[in-house]
Amino acid sequence: MKKKLSLILAGAMVLSMALTGCGGGSGSGDTSATAAAAGGETAAAEADTEAAAAGESSESDIDTTGFLVTPKDTDIQTADVQRTSADYELPLNIYDRLADIKVENGVSSVEPSLAESWDISEDGLEYTFHLRQGVKFHNGNDFTAEDVVYTFNRLLTVSGAMNTELLEQVQGAAEVLDGTATELSGVEAVDDYTVKITLVEPFGAFLSCITAPGASIYDSEATEAAGDQFGLDPSVTVGTGPFKFVEWTLNDRMVLVRNDDYWKEPAGIPGVVIRIVPDTETQTMMFENGELDIIDLDEIPDAVDRLKATYPDQIVEGNRVGVTYMIMNYNVEPLNNINVRKAIQRAIDRQAILDALYGGMGTVENGIYPHGLIGFNDELPAIEYDPEEAKALLAEAGYADGFTMELASDTSAGDAVAMTLEIIKEQLAEVGITAEIKNYDESSWLDLRNSGEMCAFTATWTADFNDPDNFIYTFFGNEEKSKIRSLNYPDADKMARVTAARAMVNEDERIAEYQALEKEIVQDDAAWVPMYSRVHLFAVSKRVQGFTPFWSGYGDKPFYGITFSE
């Protein structure tokens, strides 16, 4: 097993943390249309969140000449990904996971990482991971099965734990979470380089779950020794990733240096300086002056058109693996009429909304799963914008003269949601439907939605992990999930099929069932209006080569694979 760790804690840091809910920013999940449009709040924003109160670490003596420089508009809360769902930029670069998502020609798949291979039992309950040997943590410790067992136990037990849903299907997870057990019985170190994970029931999305940033693997000895300073003090925050965390100066910068002992080829750049630059105009000026190498255009919306026009060859696009949609409540008349729902689907010009708000930077979707997701079906028939057909459907349903409905707006969201709802209101009016926009504060909006009594609204769901289960089960997994989204979808048989598909062992059959359910729910039943998925834009300096945005479309940037041109 691993050698004893010897740590010298360099300098004192007075850092405290209060993490009571998922953060916004890079996390995923369900957002109101405004927040989704702005690329801001996530499903985590539905919980109460308190920002971490971080102190200041002393600057290192490292020479950052020649480092890649990129900004963030605010400081992170922590680099401990088990205690945040908002700050993934450091975790993506300083840690590794057992497996990762690979995207090739727009198609996503799970590929080995710290686990070089795995076996799955015929019943789908046991996953045996064969770990990569010779991998070192940044402090020189060997990576072994002990670290995996420790990491997954800590994920469920650390104070302020986040991302626990990634392991909820593991045997013993429920008992650890409810306090009746202290150890995760379903994770076992068979030997130094073999880990067996046992599930309570088959779960086809499990491999995708452990590719998520929240499943990053920690050094058991270093993390335990660091205590509450892990993720806050760079000197004790270690992983196996391509970069080491060496400096965090609050409200100024964070510094990563290349891990020359990385188990893959070392990174192609010597390091990264992440500057804290709250002012968007300052970010823009710094990029134009050559002081920044990569900027997230979500952080500088006022300058997007200017930068696209000035630097057309320096704009990099990445998929946002998320879908904006409109909910129609089955319990509200006349939305319980299938022809009314189909009429609404055809009355909304989704491409026009995408063009008006985002310059067409995205793709109109026709189902539940967005482009870039495992299981995406590009053969779904298009739901065409056809106001004349919408009028005919309304007449057939007995509403030739239209009707009045409410669109619920979260006032905390922002201008983009308000604009989305105004456009939808105008488009529905063209077919005789009077949509009244009613504004709610964030808390009231969530309370009404969760009660199942919200008439209609728009929102966005972004992938937590790369699998159709993360989308269809969230909305159509059972009666309760459908209710808290104010869907109130009544087809118990289809919801039972959604739940049953999670346990299907044959992957091809599982994906085929998910695709069949998608068509039946969205196109045959018209259970919601799929709107669009968007792209995420970054501007890069001329010297940057090989930058690839994270597969999900997060603003958090992976730096491995980047090189500098001569």
From the number of C-beta atoms within 10 Å of its C-beta (0-12, 13-18, 19+), residue 214 rates as buried
> 228 with 253, same domain?
yes
pLDDT-derived band of residue 25, with 50, 70 and 90 as boundaries? Answer: very low
Q: How confident is the model at residue 302, as a pLDDT?
A: 85
pLDDT-derived band of residue 33, with 50, 70 and 90 as boundaries? Answer: very low
Evaluate the omega torsion of the peptide bond into residue 278 and state whether it is cis, within 30 degrees of 0. no
CATH number for the domain spanning 366: value is 3.10.105.10
> 554 with 455, same domain?
no
Q: Is residue 261 part of a domain?
A: yes
Q: In the predicted model, is pLDDT for residue 45 greater than 60? A: no
* pLDDT, tens digit (0-9, with 9 covering 90-100), for 540-563: 999 999 999 999 988 999 999 999
Q: How confident is the model at residue 60, as a pLDDT?
A: 56
Q: Is residue 128 part of a domain?
A: yes
Q: Out of 104-108, 200-204, 457-461, which region has the weakest mean confidence (pLDDT)?
A: 104-108
Q: In the predicted model, is pLDDT for residue 26 greater than 70? A: no
Q: Is residue 305 part of a domain?
A: no
Q: Is residue 1 part of a domain?
A: no
Q: Sign of torsion, CA 128 321 41 453? A: negative
> 412 with 500, same domain?
yes
pLDDT-derived band of residue 7, with 50, 70 and 90 as boundaries? Answer: very low
pLDDT-derived band of residue 41, with 50, 70 and 90 as boundaries? Answer: very low
> 491 with 394, same domain?
yes
Domain of residue 125 covers 52-291+541-564
Q: DSSP strand E in 298-427: where? A: 315-319, 322-328, 362-364, 403-410
Q: Is residue 44 part of a domain?
A: no
What is the C-alpha separation between 293 and 188, in angstroms, rounded? 43
Count of H helices and E strands in the chain? 17, 21
Structural Rg of the chain based on CA atoms: 24
Number of domain units in the chain: 2
> 111 with 199, same domain?
yes
Q: Is residue 244 part of a domain?
A: yes
Summarize the confidence of residues 490-495 as an average pLDDT: 98
pLDDT-derived band of residue 346, with 50, 70 and 90 as boundaries? Answer: very high
Summarize the confidence of residues 349-368 as an average pLDDT: 95
* pLDDT, tens digit (0-9, with 9 covering 90-100), for 160-186: 999 999 999 999 999 999 999 999 999
Q: Is residue 36 part of a domain?
A: no
From the number of C-beta atoms within 10 Å of its C-beta (0-12, 13-18, 19+), residue 128 rates as middle
The single residue listed with the structure tokens 């691993």 is: 2
Cβ atoms 35, 414 nearer than 8 A: yes
Q: How confident is the model at residue 566, as a pLDDT?
A: 72
> 499 with 385, same domain?
yes
Q: How confident is the model at residue 9, as a pLDDT?
A: 29
**Comparing C-alpha atoms, which of 270, 245, 251 is closest to residue 260?**
270
